[in-house]
Structure 1
Amino acid sequence: MADDQRSRTAPAEHRWPVVIAVLIALALHLFLPSSLLEVQRYIVAVVVVALLIPLIVLNPHRLVRQTRWSRNLEIVTALVLVAANQITLVLLVFQLVERAGDGTALLVASLQVWTTNVIAFALLYWVIDRGGPVARVHVPREDLAHADFRFPQDEDHDAVVEVARGSSRTSDWVPSFVDYLYFSLSNSMAFSPTDTMPLTHRAKLLMGLESFAGFILLALVIARAVAQIG
């Protein structure tokens, strides 16, 4: 407990890796085939950019300030991206099942939707876990919100010295966006947790939804590819 009560030493996270990831997701969404989304894609892009601008103004370089409205904007931004991509996924599934549209274009669109899904869920995990990116660094550990995910570094304090040196207890390590992006990617590829475990009901439901979406998409893409070969 004494370790948890010392002053925090973890550095504040950089803003721009998250911004770049969101812009990549929006670009993938914008360049989807017109048969999937027409006007809606531009509405989503405008809404997300409008939500993102005040967050960048508040923390242009490192995430050091958080207000109630900025916290709500972060959550809404992540939810908009996730929801928009799930709608696109449903439309894509219908086209894959009905074998409607150009096969090659649909296969490329499947990759776009899958990649956007990885980024969108990573953003949502990053926003909700332990009170968000600002709280994870600046709030004393005993006052942090309940953890949604358990990372390997959270339990490495009793490992060999060179491993324990980077643990949460020893170095005040906290997960950054890259950590959430990695386990979102592994969850979408393995369809199950790998090195990061969900701890709360909402975390389990979100990871289950991401895995299910990835599995359905992969199964239909394989079926479509086999049909084309045949």
Structure 2
Amino acid sequence: MNETPGPDGREESLAERLARIETLLTPARDELSHAERSLEPAWRRVTRGEPRWASTGAVVTVVAFQFLLPHRLSVQPRWLMPVVELLLLAALVAGNPHRIERRSGGYRALGLVLTLAIGVANGYSAARLVVGLVRGTEPAPAATLLLTGGAIWLINVVIFGLLYWELDRGGPAARAQGERDVPDFLFVQMQSPELAPPHWEPAYLDYFYLSFTNSTAFSPTDVMPVTRWAKMLMLLQSVVSLMTVVLVVARAVNILK
């Protein structure tokens, strides 16, 4: 009862018939899978890891600015934080010297520790500066005060750019592997893929631009935060930037008068 004539006229069992149907359906299934992958947004596909140079250059720039800050605003001893940051950076570069593709829990933790170290050092400098301005004990002349405040503000931009870059969709290595479907930040190229090259992924410079515009406009511009942590982090950056700019400029104007 379970046997029917096959294509060659030979009686075939139900199992043989199902196997033949499966063989016939396999090419169509493969074509459908390929079509689905081609329709998938470029930023969700597996891509090459981004080059290392941009994020490395940002950290080196921060270290250089830290040495330019007044002695009274730096963590003591003055060389401690820059040396710690450079050692952490060297370990990260050794793990991914050219492109950020290798992913592990330890490597990701190392990157977050580096960002935290820079943030702590700059937070200390900003707090010392703000306290001095509020109490009226900051001795710097107007020009020096503006330069110092500008350096702290710029370091703050780099720090938040690194945070956005390290946290969005699991970090640069996870983004390259397309491990997470839901973005934390929605870039224009994600909404309008025709404006971006194939396999586009946000890189550090995109997050630096996001950080810079948030520090100047005190609100999102063309990049929208999607998740709650992204919104709260952008809110924190706007508050820190606003306090630094307002207090430094007000004090400098008062000195000039």
Q: TM-score, normalised by structure 2?
A: 0.79
Specify the SS of the correspondent of 1:85. helix
Greater alpha carbon shift after TM alignment, 33-42 vs 46-55: 33-42
Match of 1:107 among 146, 169, 191: 146
Question: Contact between 2:170 and 2:180, CA under 8 Å: does it hold in 1?
Answer: yes
Question: Contact between 2:215 and 2:237, CA under 8 Å: does it hold in 1?
Answer: yes
Equivalent residues in 2 for 1:116-195, closer than 5 Å:
116-137=155-176, 139-140=177-178, 143-144=179-180, 146-157=182-193, 164-166=194-196, 171-195=198-222
Residue 56 of structure 1: CA displacement? 0.6
Unaligned runs of 5+ in 2: 1-35
Match of 1:203 among 230, 237, 253: 230
Residue 147 of structure 1: CA displacement? 1.9
Question: Contact between 2:74 and 2:124, CA under 8 Å: does it hold in 1?
Answer: no
Counterpart check, 1:43 vs 2:80 = yes
- Offset from partner CA, 1:120-168 (integer Å, 9 cap, x none): 110111011111111111x23xx316421111111114xxxxxx1517x
Specify the SS of the correspondent of 1:102. coil
Q: TM-score, normalised by structure 1?
A: 0.87
Greater alpha carbon shift after TM alignment, 20-29 vs 2-11: 2-11
Counterpart of 2:60? Answer: 23
Change (3 A) 1:218 1:177: same
- Tell me the distance in 1 between the aligned counterparts of 2:75 and 2:225: 36
CA RMSD of aligned residues (A): 2.0
Amino acid at match of 1:92: L
Amino acid at match of 2:225: P
- Tell me the distance in 1 between the aligned counterparts of 2:134 and 2:166: 34
Question: Contact between 2:214 and 2:238, CA under 8 Å: does it hold in 1?
Answer: yes
Counterpart check, 1:32 vs 2:32 = no
Amino acid at match of 2:253: V
- Offset from partner CA, 1:193-225 (integer Å, 9 cap, x none): 101111122211211111111111111122112
Counterpart of 1:81? Answer: 118
- Tell me the distance in 1 between the aligned counterparts of 2:181 and 2:232: 19
- Tell me the distance in 2 between the aligned counterparts of 1:102 and 1:165: 48
Match of 1:58 among 92, 95, 98: 95
Residue 24 of structure 1: CA displacement? 0.5
The number of equivalent residue pairs is 218
Question: Contact between 1:92 and 1:106, CA under 8 Å: does it hold in 2?
Answer: no
- Tell me the distance in 2 between the aligned counterparts of 1:23 and 1:220: 27
Specify the SS of the correspondent of 1:193. coil
Unaligned runs of 5+ in 1: 158-163
Amino acid at match of 1:155: Q
Specify the SS of the correspondent of 1:206. helix
Greater alpha carbon shift after TM alignment, 75-84 vs 108-117: 75-84
